[in-house]
Amino acid sequence: MKILVCDKTEAEAIEKMRAAGLTVDTNFEITPEELMTVLPNYDGCVVRSRTKIRQPLIDVCPNLKVIVRGGVGLDNIDADYARSKGITVMNTPQASSASVAELAIGFMFALARSIYKATETMKAEKWEKKAFEGTELGGKTLGLIGVGNIGKEVAKRALALGMKVIAYDPYVKETPGVQMVSLDELLAQSDYISLHLPKTKESAGMIGKAQFEKMKTGVYLVNCARGGIVDEEALYEALTSGKVAGAALDVFAEEPPTDWKLVKLDNVICSPHIGAATKEAQARVGAEVAEKLIEFAKSH
């Protein structure tokens, strides 16, 4: 079975696939135009978030049998269309859960204690000790929108910090230590809101002007899920009005953004979609990609 690895993947994982008898080629910089001519020669491909596998590409790949996305979401793949063509589509939903969860919790600490602003003033040689009275996370209510693999990891860490954790997820009935509530209840009760759900037709734009109006004044918002779930214009308004005290964003509707006004706000901290970017997560993602492809090859 011939596999094309289109995005950066651990060398150990690639060697593991080769050792199992797969023919594996790598091209971590392949362009969409090149893919149209190259991918038809392969039985399978591995992508991360950079490479898009859309319907026009699928249509010119009659030999394609399997697509593996190293990571959580499938929003860069026309997965339903691929499956309708008999192509197996898989991802690695658990490999990076701990890394994303730790980033979300880290963001909450940074917001609560103004770590970014305090660092900035120190670098400017200012000693503004009285300007940075923060708050503790313990005793605060964390609202999780989505309690899949990552949401559960966030909940475990938040509970250990003494937070009350509530969650909204229409696909989950119960989670240990977490009170399941409606979305409106979550918006009204939470001191911190953290998003951990895929971007779908249902979730796109689900946090907009109406939802911000239902939140507590002074709430903090964390998004390490996907851009486009939060209406960025509505978030900008909520941040500038004081409705939302601060936001921490790892994901954006456009990546990289073309309009930088949101990230330039003083009460926004952000990162360039690095939730899964830890050595440990990358190793687990690579290992899981290799395992899934080897198993697939054995059964086909």
Active site residues: 226, 255, 273
Which element (helix H / strand E) includes 112?
helix 97-113
Which residues does residue 45 pair with via DSSP β-bridges, in sequence order?
4, 67
Q: What interhelical angle do 97-113 and 279-299 show, nearest 10?
A: 160
User: Which tokens go with 156?
Assistant: 């475990």
Phi then psi dihedrals of residue 223, to 5 deg: -130, 105
Query: Residues of 78-105 as b/e, b for ≥16 C-beta within 10 angstroms?
Result: bbeebeeeebbbbbbbebbbbbbbbbbb
Phi then psi dihedrals of residue 232, to 5 deg: -65, -30
Helix extents (H) in 20-78: 32-38, 55-59
How many Cβ atoms are within 10 Å of 255's Cβ, its own excluded? 12
Of 61, 94, 81, 3, nearest to 297 (Cα)? 3
User: Which tokens go with 19?
Assistant: 């050792």
Cross-sheet strand order for the sheet of 44-47? 23-26, 2-5, 44-47, 66-69, 88-91
Phi then psi dihedrals of residue 159, to 5 deg: -65, -40
* Coil, helix or strand at residue 60: coil
Phi then psi dihedrals of residue 28, to 5 deg: -75, -10
* Coil, helix or strand at residue 262: coil
